[in-house]
Amino acid sequence: MVRTSGHLFDGEIRYPQWEAPTAKLRHWIEDRGVGGVILLGGSVSDLAARIQQMQSWAQVPLLIAADIEQGVGQRFSGATWMPPPMALGAIAKSDLPQACALAREMGAITAREAEAVGLNWLLAPIVDVNNNPENPAISLRAFGEMPEIVIPLIEAFIQGTQDYSVLTTAKHFPGHGDTSTDPHLDLPLIPHPRERLDRVELAPFRAAIAAGVSAVMTAHLQVPALDPDYPATLSFLVLTQLLRQEMGFDGLIVTDALVMQAITRHYGALEAPIMALEAGADVVLMPVDPPGTIEAIYQAVQTGRLSQERLHAKLERIWRAKEQVFRSTLRSEQKQGVSDSSLSWIESIAQPKASEVCRTILHQSLMVHTPSPRESRQTLQPQNLTSDTTIRATNLIVVENLLQASFLGLHTPAITIPQGWGYRLQWVDSQTPVIESINDLQPTLLQLFIQANPFQNTTGLVQIAQRHLEVLLEAGQLKALILCGSPYVWKQFVPLLPSEIPAVFSYGQIPMAQAIALEKLLDLGLAIQGTEYIDQKFTT
C-alpha cells in the first residue's frame, strides 16, 4: 500500500519524498499490482476524481485509505473536520452516555463522507490509552487517558460506521499511549509487565475486536514483556501468537508506515517488509521502495522464506475485505442509479447535522478560567473609544509553524473577531524571537495554538508561549487568554493566571473552535465597548 497526494495534479504535490506522482503511481498499480493507496491533502472534489482515476487503472479494485481520525475534513478540505477524539473523552468524564452518542455520530459522519468520495478504509479509530502527557505521537488523537473512558467511546465510534461500506482500523497495536518518543524519529519503548498491558493497553483492542473492527494497525515500538527482541510490527510473538491466536482476531493486520525512522534506522528498507509479513502482517504500508519491496517479497516466496500457504492466507483476508467494501458499494450504486459522472456524493459532505455535532462536542468540552465576580465586568477594549480613536491593542497568535497552520487564515475567527474588537494582528511561531515580538507591550489578547504533532517537538513552542504569557502578566497587559489544542499545556498555564484574567481552552483548533472559544469570553461577562460588535452576536 503506497502513499500519494489527494491533489489531482502533480504540481500540487507537497511531500514528493513520500507521494508518488501520477505516472509512477499508475505504473505501480497497472503493472506492479499495488493493492492499495493512502492519500493525504487536496480538496474533496480533487479526492473524488483522484480515486476514480486510480480505480480505473486497477485490475482488482483498490483499498483506498486515509488517516481521518477527525473526519474526512482533517485531511481533505471541504469535508467535515471534527474535533480531536480526546474532546469526547473530556465529555465522557461527566456524561458518558452523551459522549458515546456523540462518538457514534462522529463515526457515522466520518464513514458517510468517506464512502461518498470513494475512501473505503478509515485508518481510525485510535484505541490507544494516552496516559503519558509527554506523548508526541498520540496525545489528542486518543479518546482518553483511562481504559474505562476509551473502551465505550471506541465501541460507539465503530458502531457508527457499520451502516457504511468502509473498513475501520484499531491502532496502534499493542498500545502506543504510554510513550515519550516519536516513532517517526526513533523506536519507542513500553517497559510495562504483561499484567499492566492486559489491563490498560490491550483491553481497548479486545473491545474493538468484539465490536467488529475490520483491521488492526501495528505499532513501531519495543515491548519487552511481549517480545524481548523485535518491535511489535516485526514480531511473530505480538502479531501472530498474541493478536491472531490469543485474541482471536481474523481481520486485516496492516503495518504502520514503514518509512518511519523507528523502522528504517534499525532494519533494512527491503528486509523490514519481509519481517512484517513473517510476523503476521497482511498489508505493508508505505515501504521505502515499493518496486524493490515487491521484488523482495517475490524472492522470499521463491526461496521458501515466505510459504505460499501463508501468503494465500493473507490474500484471502485482503480479498474478504475488498468483497465487503465493493459488493455493498455496487449494491448501493445500483439501487441509487449513481453513475461515474454523478455528483450526488456532494450531498453527503459537510451537512448541517455534521456541523451541529462538531459544535456540540466543542461546546461541551470547553474549559474556562472564570474571573472572580467583582472583576468580571472588565473589557477586552484597552480604553473607551470614540469613532476617531486610534486603537492600540494586540491580538497575539502563537502557533508552531505559520505556513503549515491550515486552520488559520485572514478569514478565520481567531483573526476576524478580535479585529472587530479593535485588536491588531500579530503572529509568533517557533522561528520568531521570543519577547521582541511584543510591540511596546500593548494590551493583548493572547491566543495559543499548541498541540502535539508527529515530527514536531512542541517543547520550544510551549516555552515561547509561556515567556510571552509571563511578560504580559508582569506588565499588566494581558487582557485574556485562549488556548486551542493541548489540555496538558492548559493545566500548566492556568496556575499562572491571576483571578481577574479570563481564559478559555478548546480541544479544537478549527475555525468553529476558534469562534466558540471567543464567544465564551463574552459569556464570562466581558464587556466589549466602542467597536462594531456592540450588542451583536457573532455566529459559530
Tell me which residues are annotated as active site: 184, 256
Q: Alpha carbon of 366 to those of 75, 86, 134, 520: distances in Å? A: 24, 12, 22, 9
CA-to-CA distance for 457 and 405, rounded, in angstroms? 16
**b/e sequence 453-492, b meaning 16+ C-beta within 10 Å:** beebebeebbebbbebbebbbeeebbbbbbbbbbbbbbee
CA-to-CA distance for 306 and 280, rounded, in angstroms? 11
Question: Could you tell me how many helices (H) and strands (E) the chain has, helices first?
Answer: 17, 13
Q: Alpha carbon of 522 to those of 371, 419, 529: distances in Å? A: 12, 15, 12
Strands in 2-5's sheet, in edge-to-edge order, are: 2-5, 36-40, 63-66, 121-122
CB 136, CB 180: distance < 8 Å: yes
β-bridge partners, 36:
63
Q: If DSSP states are collapsed to H, E and C, what string results for 66-108?
A: ECCCCCHHHCCECCCCCCCHHHHHHHHCCCHHHHHHHHHHHHH
Which residues are CB-neighbours of 538 under 8 A, at least 6 positions away? 413, 417, 420, 515, 518, 519
CA-to-CA distance for 312 and 314, rounded, in angstroms? 5
CB 66, CB 40: distance < 8 Å: yes
CA-to-CA distance for 465 and 434, rounded, in angstroms? 8
| All cell numbers assigned to 59 | 485490475
CB 259, CB 288: distance < 8 Å: yes
CB 504, CB 471: distance < 8 Å: no
Q: Cell 479518546 appears where?
A: 143
Task: Give the amino acid at 149.
Answer: I
DSSP 183: T
Is the bond leading into 172 cis (omega within 30 degrees of zero)?
yes
Give the helix/strand (H/E) hosting 272.
Answer: helix 271-279
Q: Alpha carbon of 378 to those of 7, 156, 390, 392, 445: distances in Å? A: 48, 43, 20, 17, 13
